[in-house]
Structure 1
């Protein structure tokens, strides 16, 4: 099976105590360009927004390192 690419957008809000929490479940999108475009649009609405991608072969459980496509505001560290 060929390796595919996971492209994900995540956004974060802050609690009243200032803790970063996911604003919604990470969203898979079809292209890196779309992820960047959508993340830019969301950036003014959340404490932090991140669009990233990684090569993946889910059948084998192999995942490459994440590559950040767009980042704005505060985000937690990603694995």
Structure 2
């Protein structure tokens, strides 16, 4: 059985000219939750929405656990 990894991601969002939420840049991955939360807090004042989340992952077999929100500010799309 492959070891489980933790996927930790920060995403920031802007609004398009049509008012839709769009990613401000590519998702950033982190090794530790604390660093992701600090980065998300720093970005919160600069974008309409920011989210940091984590999930257990076994990417080699395509299995991902449910996402857990670590930090959220402003407008972000619903997590799928």
Aligned to 1:61: 62
For structure 2, the 5+ residue unaligned runs are none
Aligned CA-pair RMSD: 0.7
Provide the rounded CA distance (Å) in 1 between the counterparts of 2:17 and 2:61: 41
Aligned to 2:19: 18
Aligned to 2:9: 8
Provide the rounded CA distance (Å) in 2 between the counterparts of 1:44 and 1:17: 22
Of 17-26 and 64-73, deviating more is 17-26
1:30 CA displacement: 1.0
Question: What secondary structure sits across from 1:52 in the alignment?
Answer: strand
The runs of 4+ residues in structure 1 deviating greater than 4 Å are: none
1:62 CA displacement: 0.6
Aligned to 2:79: 78
For structure 1, the 5+ residue unaligned runs are none
